[in-house]
Amino acid sequence: MKTRTTPLFISKLQENEIFVFGSNLSGLHYGGAAFTAQRLYGAKKGIGIGIQGRSYAIPTIKHNISGVLLLDEISIHVRTFVEYAKTQPDKTFLVTEIGCGIAGFVPSEIAALFEKVGVVEVENIHLPASFWNKIKH
């Protein structure tokens, strides 16, 4: 899985790469990877879910940053993302440690959501090493 590991720091994307970040449902990209996505990769203020420019938002935080989503809620968004990535085989999706910053989840919790939807078989999705370390492959 080493070749499908997201770099720790992403300062530049290759032409076919998409930056995948954790967001809030209000699309207020004020901190962490969300701020980077807005500043560098086309994330739009007010859009908290899905593809935007060269980025893809997976929400982990409620509207108006009023708390975190439940893991079952995040799971739905992870599934939607993985299904989308499958339709874009010419793109490489670089998933950051979504949910592991401001939202306060640990890598094993979020990795389990990706594992449950079969990410191991989706060749164009790259995950952080901290997620791969928790996924059976």
Domains by residue range for the chain, with CATH: 2-132 (3.40.220.10)
Residue 58: pLDDT over 80? yes
Residues 6+ apart with CB under 8 A from 131: 95, 97, 107, 110, 111, 114
Q: DSSP letters of 26-67?
A: T----SHHHHHHHHHS---TT--SEEETTEEEEEEE-GGG-S
Q: Output Rg (C-alpha) for the chain, integer angstroms.
A: 13
Q: CB of 131 within 8 A of CB of 113?
A: no
Instruction: State percent of the chain over pLDDT 90.
Output: 88
Q: CB of 106 within 8 A of CB of 112?
A: no
Mean pLDDT, rounded, of the chain: 95
Pairing of strands 17-24, 50-52: unpaired
pTM over 0.85: yes
Q: What band does 64 get if pLDDT is binned at 50, 70 and 90?
A: confident
What is the tens place of the pLDDT at every residue in 22-50?
999 999 998 899 999 999 999 999 999 99
